[in-house]
Amino acid sequence: TTLLTPETDENAVKTAAALIRQGEVVGMPTETVYGLAANALNGEAVKKIFLAKGRPQDNPLIIHIPGPQWLPRYCEDVPPLAYTLARKFWPGPLTMVLKRSDNNAAIDLACSGLPNIAVRMPAHPVALDLIKKSGVPIVAPSANKFKSISPTTAQHVFDSLGDKVDMILDGGPCAVGVESTIIDVTGSNVVILRAGGTSKEDLEKFLNEKVPLSQGNPNQPSAPGQLLKHYAPNHPLRINAATRQPGEFFIGFGKIADCDLNLSPAGDLREAAANLFAFLRRADAAPGYMGLAMSPVPEHGLGLAINDRIRRASYKA
């Protein structure tokens, strides 16, 4: 596996785009987390992604596009609201679930045969460049093994899936650090299917209405992010911990003196989100600990996404 840095290697994205067109799989930076990228229109390429992640094929993938002008290619009766939301939040960490058009059998596998399709326009310049140079819609689930911690650096991708991808584009650490917010735009009201990098408050302010967070059905999730156990470290994780217990690696938030790492000493939820997955990995890999513990994180702004991820990461089956 080669690690290429587009910032210093002007051919990196061109080479990656050629691999995508040949049906290969490439590690791609986005502003949220690193993704495993493949041509959404190539069923064989999409299959490689499910295999690499060890992800069941009934869990659909997000299609990454270069802008809202591509929506009518893959979506049926795109509601004006989708364009309104795209103008405000794209490029950025917002994924919209829309009605699929029925003339796109090629992306059947990417959508797990569902009548809906999830689309997003990422904000990372390398991701946008890769989509444009490939000229195809790109599926990109987070570049980690199914149910494990999402990657926010190229090294994370190399560590967990290095043997499964031909190339990883290094676009630096992800600025947002948690996955995109997924909203369902197929009904009369917008519903959040997964809390993420776009806050509930920002959506509500823009739409001037309440935007409920769907609980989903944990036994038959429409999104793997809804699985009770997900984003899991190897060590047990204890959340909402006031202090450390013996043998625990303690990740703090805010004014916590006695911790091993602090998500944000200033109590900034954006900073905390950007640090979350990298800190979980570091804590999990630190020698000599029996478990991990984490301070409480407030349930607003990006705190919704952070708490969602650590609840699943701490789930005991």
Q: Supply the minimum distance, in Å, between the C-beta of residue 198 and Mg ion.
A: 16
Q: Is 131 in the site for ligand TXA (CB under 6 A)?
A: no
Q: Is 193 in the site for ligand TXA (CB under 6 A)?
A: yes
The option from Mg ion, ligand TXA, none interacting with 222 (CB < 5 to 8 A, set by class) reads ligand TXA
Q: Where are the alpha helices (DSSP H) in the chain?
A: 12-21, 43-53, 71-74, 80-89, 125-134, 154-161, 200-207, 269-285, 303-313
Q: Is 222 in the site for ligand TXA (CB under 6 A)?
A: yes
Q: Supply the minimum distance, in Å, between the C-beta of residue 256 and ligand TXA.
A: 28
Select 4 or 174, whichever has its Cβ closest to ligand TXA. 174
CB atoms under 10 Å from CB of 126, counted, come to 22
The option from Mg ion, ligand TXA, none interacting with 306 (CB < 5 to 8 A, set by class) reads none
The two three-digit tokens of residue 195, written as one number: 């809390």
Query: Please, how many CA atoms are within 13 Å of residue 302, restricted to the half-sphere of its CB?
Result: 23
- Whether 26 and 168 have beta carbons less than 8 Å apart is answered as yes
The two three-digit tokens of residue 63, written as one number: 């299609």
Q: Supply the minimum distance, in Å, between the C-beta of residue 54 and ligand TXA.
A: 13
Among 3, 18, 106, 114, binds ligand TXA (CB under 6 A): 114
Cis-peptide into 91, omega within 30 deg: yes
Q: 154-213: which residues touch Mg ion (CB under 5 A)?
A: none
Q: Is 39 in the site for Mg ion (CB under 5 A)?
A: no
Select 141 or 303, whichever has its Cβ closest to ligand TXA. 141
Contact region for ligand TXA (CB under 6 A) — 5-13, 66-74, 138-146, 271-279?
A: 138-146
Q: Supply the minimum distance, in Å, between the C-beta of residue 138 and Mg ion.
A: 15
Among 6, 68, 225, 233, binds ligand TXA (CB under 6 A): 225
Select 224 or 252, whichever has its Cβ closest to ligand TXA. 224
CB atoms under 10 Å from CB of 194, counted, come to 23
Ramachandran region of residue 255, left (φ > 0), alpha (ψ -120 to 50) or beta? beta
Q: Supply the minimum distance, in Å, between the C-beta of residue 23 and ligand TXA.
A: 19
CB atoms under 10 Å from CB of 295, counted, come to 20
Query: Please, how many CA atoms are within 13 Å of residue 257, restricted to the half-sphere of its CB?
Result: 0
- Which residue's structure tokens are 């840095």? 5
Among 97, 241, 306, 313, binds ligand TXA (CB under 6 A): 97
Residues forming the site for Mg ion (CB under 5 A): 142
